[in-house]
Chain A
Amino acid sequence: FTEMPTDNFVESSFWNFDALFQPQQHPARDQHDTFFLQDPAEALQLPPGYTAKVKKIHSQGGYGSQGYKSEWKLEEARKNLLRTHTTSASARLLYRLAQQEKFTPVKCFSIDRVFRNESLDATHLAEFHQVEGVVADRGLTLGHLMGTLHQFFTKLGITQLRFKPAYNPYTEPSMEVFSYHEGLKKWVEVGNSGVFRP
């Protein structure tokens, strides 16, 4: 797995949410959960052709999807924020991959900081680190995803895994990964995953 560049804490709503099919009215884009920036408040540039495509998918649908059929505002996408997940870097990576003349399969990872507007307590911090991995190739299946996750966790010493259906705006199917914690004697969630939506 090759390391992805993730050295930008400041991200635009476009890459953090819109390009990942997270609807503009989604609760996660609320003031309560995301750090929006006062200065610089808006992204200076967004990829023009791509932005138009994203707008169409949200409001009308496309690539076989019905879309959200609700208004898509450019100002909303321009808002700058501190990224809430490293998936925004994955989105940029996939965009760059799509710009390539010839498709080459990639396997990428990143481990970096993300920010969420939470009150601090025993299990929550406003900034924490996420480990993220992306595999892009032809003919990938859900079984492949499960296998890759199994390999990854085995290296960490976690072998008992179960997968549970979940929901992410940008992946379908999505799975939460649970592992049995010997100390707590119960299954705890150790990760989230999914196959990116077409």
Chain B
Amino acid sequence: MPTVSVRRDLLFQALGRSYTDEEFNELCFEFGLELDEITSEKDIISKEKGEEKAKGASETVLYKIDVPANRYDLLCLEGLVRGLQVFKERINLPRYEKIIPAEGEGQRLIITEETAKIRPHAVAAVLRNITLTRERYDSFIDLQEKLHQNICRRRALVAIGTHDLDTISGPFTYTAKAPSEIKFKPLNQSQEYTASQIMDLYRTDSHLRHYLHLIENKPLYPVIHDSNGVVLSMPPIINGDHTKISVNTRNVFIECTGTDITKAKIVLDIIVTMFSEYCEKPFSVEAAEVVYPNGKTHIYPELAYRKERVKPELINKKIGISETPSSLAKLLTRMCLKSHVTGNGNHLEVEIPPTRADIIHACDIVEDAAIAYGYNNIQMTVPKTYTIANQLPLNKLTELLRLDLAAAGFTEALTFALCSQEDIADKLGMELSATQAVRIANPKTAEFQVARTTLLPGLLKTIAANRKMPLPLKLFEISDIVLKDPNTDVGARNYRHFCAVYYNKSPGFEIIHGLLDRVMQLLEVPPDEEKGYTIKAAEGSAFFPGRCAEVFAKGQSIGKLGVLHPDVITKFELTMPCSALEINIEPFV
């Protein structure tokens, strides 16, 4: 969930009234936002770097608001205010207008074919005669960052560049050149660099180094320049210093380049709708023309208003309320979805503005109607579905066994399903390849490299962590292990295993054996070689030679029991003898 940080006083100023923290929290809750934290810059620095560094930092109160991941129109103060004001019916949703300049007067962005291999898509627009203040400027930059982080997937899908139009002259060209051919002064730098030098320059920059890999090893780097060769930007890395916008900028040229055209269009729409508020003619955006390598042209921004028809009964039915069509229309209008009743009063025509790219289905409209109605105002009912309840047989067996094993004096343990490679292989004296283990490609720590193929390491680690407890330590666990299996659709499956260990001054083979007998008694499996269970002497790499047996049930091997080998005991940092039993209980379901 993205978090937007807004200055509380600015927020209240824009909303036209003050709220107490409580009241604002309530408002957020209703709307679907979460007031995560009330803090100030001073607090933030205090927490991160200590009281000393925080001295002199701003104490203005900041609200950190959590915004749903699919609402790109709420990622800045302007959007939040607009959304809340419409929700509270204090303003009407503004109509966003696209102004198409006269022939030859508009800005043009020409895309060349070289970009096809690296970042093929680009869209552009202009904000004319905009008035920026310090706060609006900060908000503008913040919004771009937020969009970069979220919908743009850290600039991989789309990268945004904003430029002072008065410092450059169109038409603009978006092309791709070899790194050595690109040379310009990057934002906030004092000299010119070639593209390869820029890569090196920002390799240690905490912010930009994460984006270098997006173009680094490609033969050509994307670059946008104007008709005089002045570089606007090298997406997705950095803009040029020449075109940087400031508080005094009056005309802004916005370009979005990327690999996903749908998202680029959404991003452009969001930026222009949010900030066109500050243009001389509010909510109007000057269109720009994009020329493709094949000669086709397209006007951006699209600012498409989509109409969808929904039946009021559908909305009522899905939520469980009964509102008249006109009141439903009013509810939806409050959520920025302007609606009115059509047909003979049995249809609603809903207009979806360009800011609500998250509305892709009638069910999204239903949700918004429910939010406007107030979730907590909906009457709670229980569905009249009659079904017969069942427990999954495997789980039922597990539950029954667990109770009786505890009654036998063993304590249950719940251990991690993921462990290190050594845990299931080296420490048990086996080769990793023989274990049929499922391996993880991107573990954060060495403790989570593989999914366990046996419950034994988990229990032994538990004992190691509890050495101070009085002896004997008798633990068990009935849980899943994972093994590779080419017969399943994913290539692996779970097996329900039961494992018990006995740790004491003497190994207690007879105790573990007795436990096995008790379990078989509970499962009503007789000690018979053909129709029941039996144990035969066997070898096991984790077990003491001559003190190991294999358990067979109805002719199938289901596990082993025995005294653990001293090597195993030492590798798990234990000091006393230990006996163990592990069997698969699935055959007994």
Residues on A lying within 8 angstroms of B by beta carbon are: 1-5, 7-12, 25, 27, 31, 35-46, 61, 63-70, 80, 82, 105-107, 113, 115, 117-119, 126-127, 135, 137, 139-144, 146-148, 150-151, 162-167, 172-175, 195, 197-198
Contact = CB atoms under 8 A, between A and B. Distances in A.
A119 to B, nearest CB: 6
Pairs of residues from A and B, 10 with the lowest C-beta to C-beta distance, nearest first: A143-B320, A141-B320, A165-B32, A40-B491, A173-B367, A65-B361, A167-B68, A147-B380, A3-B392, A10-B492
Interface in B319-364: 319-321, 360-364
A107 B384 CA distance: 11
A184 to B, nearest CB: 15
Contacts of B438: 10, 37, 39-40
Contacts of A80: 490-492
Interface of B: 29, 31-32, 34, 68-71, 150, 153, 157, 260, 262-263, 317-321, 360-364, 366-367, 370-371, 375-376, 378-383, 385-392, 394-395, 416-418, 437-445, 448, 451, 480, 482, 484, 486, 488-494, 496
A168 to B, nearest CB: 9
A82 B491 contact: no
B441 A38 contact: yes
Contacts of A195: 318, 363
B318 A142 contact: yes
Given A35-B442, A65-B360, A197-B361, A27 B387 contact: no
Contacts of B379: 143
Contacts of B392: 3-5
Given A70-B262, A165-B32, A39 B418 contact: no
Contacts of A65: 360-361
Given A69-B262, A148-B382, A172-B367, 11 more contacts: A1-B387, A9-B451, A36-B441, A127-B418, A137-B383, A141-B320, A142-B320, A143-B381, A147-B383, A164-B32, A198-B361
Contacts of B387: 1-2, 105-107
21 contacts: A1-B389, A2-B389, A3-B391, A7-B480, A7-B496, A10-B490, A12-B490, A27-B150, A36-B442, A37-B440, A38-B441, A39-B439, A40-B438, A41-B441, A64-B361, A142-B319, A143-B379, A164-B29, A164-B32, A195-B318, A195-B363
B361 A66 contact: yes
Contact of A137 (B360, B378, B385): B385
A174 B491 contact: no
A178 to B, nearest CB: 8
Nearest to A41: B441
Nearest to B319: A142
A1 to B, nearest CB: 6
Given A10-B492, A46-B489, A31 B375 contact: no
A190 B493 CA distance: 31
A27 B386 CA distance: 39
B439 A2 contact: no
A44 B32 contact: no
A153 B60 CA distance: 40
B34 A164 contact: yes
Contacts of A12: 489-490
B444 A117 contact: yes
A170 B483 CA distance: 30
Contacts of A46: 489
Given A44-B488, A105-B385, A163-B376, A9 B320 contact: no
A135 B442 CA distance: 35
Contacts of B360: 61, 65-68
Given A137-B385, A148-B382, A8 B367 contact: no
Contacts of B439: 37-39
A61 B443 CA distance: 35
A107 B385 contact: yes
Contact of A9 (B150, B364, B494): B494
Contact of B68 (A10, A68, A126, A166): A166
Contact of A151 (B71, B367, B382, B480): B382
Contacts of A175: 375
Contacts of B448: 35, 126
